[in-house]
Structure 1
Amino acid sequence: MLRRSILISGISGLAAFSGLALAQSMSSTSAEKALPYSKRPEVKKFIQDVCSRRGLNQDWVAAVLDQATYQPKIERLMTPKRTKPGTKDTRKDWEKYRNIFLGAHRLNLGVQFWKDNETSLERAREIYHVDPAVIIGIIGVETRYGENTGNWKVLDSLVTLSFDYKRRADFFKKELEEFLVILYKNDLKPFDVQGSYAGAVGLPQFMPSSIKRFGVDFDGDGKIDINHSTADTIGSIANYLSKHGWVEGLPMLIEADISPAQAAKFGGGTNPRFTWNQLISNGVKPLDNDEHFAGNMPVFIVDYPFYLPGSLDFEKLYRVGTKNFTAVLRYNSSYFYAGAVAELGSAIAEMMGKRGLIDGEKLLPPHLKPQSSGI
């Protein structure tokens, strides 16, 4: 599709096709944006369909949607960015990414959060069989333990992404529908709920559909409140991971010596399609020889690209991922994200004297490893 657009317009280079042009091609027209949302034909149909399915009042839904304000900055933030030739693509730099989440401030916040909420974390382990370290890792990566839950009005975000930015409009319309139901059932004011520019809410940054499916009233006050209740947040994350296959006591990642050829054969995707015995019999060597896993344990190899110092070339760090790594990928389907959760959760667990999420000596890119003194 991109190549066809370039040929039709007569543009000779990819650099001339800017992110702004891409955003405009996916955006609603100026005439549409000039109308109140409830007057647009597409929105009228949405209102009718939602009210028919969910039993909402059409006048109420129309009035709520008309309170939304189109946010052009959200369109810009959601538009995929292209890396200029001759520059580093920071999305591929594992070293830079992981360091964002391992600063002293975030680590100390995580230790305090664990101490303050240990009762809820242990109760979540007993009920859902989910290790506390992964819950700590997710909350720390998502919102820095509540310091950054987002200051966008969720109504503005979801309406903009449903009717003005067309790239994933069907997905966001479903989220907007669930958000309207949450507002209606809980008698909330539309602008009382704030979150990320993508519409994610609260300490765990759940989308509205995830609140519906996985939200838990863990503090027993009769409502699910992931904005203000740490207990509800912990219970909801544990419920989410449990329903996506978390296995208590299993590491997310296993450190091992892995070659590019082995990674090519046993890597890729988000599901553990191979067995531990297959990896071992093909020469993968775990760094912790004292740990013994079942031969039929499902695993796969995941990769972490990082740039070499002073160069635009990058190499890859390889690790073995388990079913628990996959469970976190269901939360966010990025190896970097799941790896950061594992790193942060493990670092804080170590500070607490608890079990972490990574088995074996932690690997670092070669240029960060301690250098031999030669003595």
Structure 2
Amino acid sequence: MSYSEILSFVQFIHYFTIIIFLTFNITNVLSIYEVGVDYHAFGTNFTETAFLTQYHISNVRSIVLVQLQGIADRGANFVTLDIWFGSEPGKITDEHWLATFPMSAQETTNLNQYAADVASIQSKIDDHRLHLNIALFWLGIADYKIGNLTEGFGSDYLNASEFTARIEKTTDCIITAISNIRCSDGTLLVQTVYLEAEVMIGAKPNQDWFISTHYPRFLNQITVAGFTPAIYFLVDAREEYILDKDYIDPQYPALNGHRCMYWVYRSLNFLKIHQLPFPKRIDFSCYIDRNTSTYANLTYHILNDADAALSVLDAPKSYGIAETYYFIDDTQRKEFGQAFALEALSNPRLSHIRFWTTPDAGGKGIHIAYPFAIEDFLPPLKKISIN
């Protein structure tokens, strides 16, 4: 064999090895990167079509079942049910988006039925099944941001012990509703339950009290039941903040040059000070508002900032996008969704994304409802496999 033939053979082996490595890496990423929907309403009018409180109505359930099937068929791995608590027990209201605080028997039954329905869905394209996450929100009489320890909390100013008792009862009702729902392989349908969304310690009144008081029991009860307990955070994703390399934080040097992590760092630092465990994956809302940069560049910078700043706290370099835009413009939405998908292909630190729907998923006043172009958020190879 001549020298040129040997060189060609060596080059062939080198490139073949690279191809095998990339194929393995991409296949591995495709198996762990999951795309889903914040799905809590069957129409754009959020107040009328939020479905949990109405799920015992046969027509509502029928609509949701059709939409769940479509969501699975277009490639989603999961749906996240967002529940807003805040209505007074026994109150008759047409505010269907607002659940009772504490959770009522009917709402508990509805959640059980909805979870069973999600478990029954199987994609007609590739036979995969959905899993379910649940995120809890607190408004109205459950709005801890109203009041204080002296006056009470929420719009009805419940005393602290009563407020906490209702949080605990609501948590227990959720566990009761979902604990017996399993996938076809025997695993629990629900993976993650979030106690609180967009945690921003220092920005939201009483949030430090809410987390330090209620998160420990929530962690224990949700874990014992077999689910993953979590909270999620908020990235300040304005382009001028993401690219502000000269930023100097007045309190934490770890944030210098990493301004978009301002609230995430402070919130995780609060957990660390209070000896509360970090979530296994750091999830955060990420509504990127760009001017001239690309979404891919901004996404890359956000995750690099997370790596650099949060590692000082020993946080895991594992991330999920808990909420983000769903733009109505097809071109913009695809560019946006692919920025996350391609980032996940290049670095497995990003393993989870779900986009918001209604209200305001496309920007203020732009409400989104089924059907969803889930494929715009899927990695390219995965899209080929489901089409």
Fold match by TM threshold 0.5 = no
Task: Kindly indicate which of the two structures has a greater share of residues assigned to strand.
Answer: 2
Provide the TM-score with structure 2 as the length reference.
0.23
TM-score calculated relative to the size of structure 1: 0.24
